[in-house]
Amino acid sequence: MRDETISVSRIEVDLAGYDSLTVPIHRASTIRYHDASSFAARFERDADGYVYGLYGTPTHRYLEKKITELEGGARTVLVPSGQAGITCAILSVVAAGESVLIPDTAYGPVRDFAKHELAALGIEAVFYDPIDLKALERLIGPRTRLVWTESPGSVTLEMQDIPAIVSMAHAKGALVGCDNTWASPVNFKPIAHGADIVVEALSKHLSGHSDLILGSITTREESLGLKLKSSLGRLGIGTSPDDCALVARGIETLAIRLRRSGDTGIKIAKWLADHPCVDSVIHPALPGNPGHEIWKRDFQGSCGVFTFTLVDRYANQAFAAMDALELISIGASWGGTKSLIAPTSVRALRTVRPWTGPEYLFRLNIGLEHPDDLKDDLNRFFAALASERTPSLMRVAT
């Protein structure tokens, strides 16, 4: 053979005696078939068989199985983002002329998806108060196919009573889906509490290092998982094995990362609650917070993601004072090793349960830094906040 041919031809490497401790990364578009008849019959392979890179490689199967086991479900599909997890989950069960109930506190972009794509498809999206069970029960009608939940809710962290929601939805023939990103399967298992579908934004805690975007959908029933898998294939939605391997690696330290960031988060939350500049701290794991009893009853632990607000008098200086932070970065997303702060306004995102607090909420993602270094950094912020010389850059709409 000439060099060109040698360069591109596949050679066999002896794998005898090789059994890696780590997650193998299999990159592939093309799968080789050993004869023409197995190629001709490739679409008859079972759902976990290998056909084409789009439908997954052994690296995808590894992550799917790992997440299925952690969630206690029947099957997991991987999608390019947490947002895709939510949208594909909704589209897999709700058809034109039917309706989906969505909590007012759902991840923000879900509202836009409802307004644009669901509306265009003739799927009705009804937003509901995440903690008003009586009102929710009244909204579940004959056309309701799915009750979406997210507990705790985005930014304002309202805890939902998932077992109660499941029993009222199932009694009326609707399924329940849960965005479990805040808790992760380590701290809450929606399927064990009756949910039919669980979505994780793998971009957050499970990958754990803020370096990729990926999502998962796990189903209680094999049949819904299979339906999703074939639908995603037809839609051409696939994921990268490299990203899957990074998530699989992240999962290995998920429990200890969450324990550490959760513990540090509680320390910081308690400290903030006593700070004169702080108006309120919203953290379901703090005793006295609304939803704390549900958290204690259903969840195994916490994480470092929570929210605080400032007393009115300091609100105008907040944006400028954030320049004083040296350790905590300003940014959205969360679940990584590094602490983040995100000034967030939710007023426009609440249509059923109006937000009556201050315009800006400060969502923290506490990472793996030492708690005292984080306090030092927040003290720099508070010092700047209290200083008269801080120019007022933020205009609060009233």
Q: CB of 114: closest distance to ligand PLP in angstroms?
A: 14
Q: DSSP class of residue 228?
A: H
Q: CB of 302: closest distance to ligand PLP in angstroms?
A: 15
Q: Which is nearer to ligand PLP, 76 or 203 (CB)?
A: 203
Q: E-strand spans in 60-188?
A: 75-79, 99-103, 124-128, 144-150, 175-179
Q: Would you state the torsion angle of the CA atoms of residues 28, 29, 31, 37, taken in this order, to the nearest 10 degrees?
A: 170
Q: Which is nearer to ligand PLP, 278 or 349 (CB)?
A: 349
Which residues, 6 or more positions from 105, have their beta carbon under 8 angstroms from its beta carbon?
130, 150, 152, 153, 154, 155, 156, 158, 350, 353
Q: Which is nearer to ligand PLP, 107 or 360 (CB)?
A: 107
Q: CB of 158: closest distance to ligand PLP in angstroms?
A: 12
Q: CB of 21: closest distance to ligand PLP in angstroms?
A: 29
Q: Which is nearer to ligand PLP, 150 or 158 (CB)?
A: 150
Q: Which is nearer to ligand PLP, 203 or 219 (CB)?
A: 203
Q: Which is nearer to ligand PLP, 253 or 333 (CB)?
A: 333
Q: DSSP class of residue 77?
A: E
Q: CB of 86: closest distance to ligand PLP in angstroms?
A: 6
Q: Rounded to whole angstroms, what are the CA distances from 376 to 144, 266, 284, 372, 379?
A: 50, 16, 24, 6, 5
Q: CB of 182: closest distance to ligand PLP in angstroms?
A: 6
Residue ranges binding ligand PLP (CB under 6 A): 81-83, 107, 150, 154, 179, 181, 201, 203-204, 213, 215, 333
The closest alpha carbon to 78, from 55, 94, 95, belongs to: 55
Q: CB of 100: closest distance to ligand PLP in angstroms?
A: 16
Q: How far apart are CA 216 and CA 78, in angstroms?
A: 5
Distance between the two ends of the chain, CA-based, in angstroms?
A: 77
- Whether the CB-CB separation of 104 and 156 falls below 8 Å is answered with no
Question: The tokens of 17 are what?
Answer: 């005696």
Q: DSSP class of residue 194?
A: T
Question: The tokens of 264 are what?
Answer: 């540090």
Q: Which is nearer to ligand PLP, 207 or 390 (CB)?
A: 207
CA 236 to chain centre: 22
Q: Which is nearer to ligand PLP, 68 or 203 (CB)?
A: 203
Q: Which residue is nearest to ligand PLP (CB)?
A: 82
Q: CB of 307: closest distance to ligand PLP in angstroms?
A: 13
Cis status, amide bond into 343, omega within 30 of 0: no
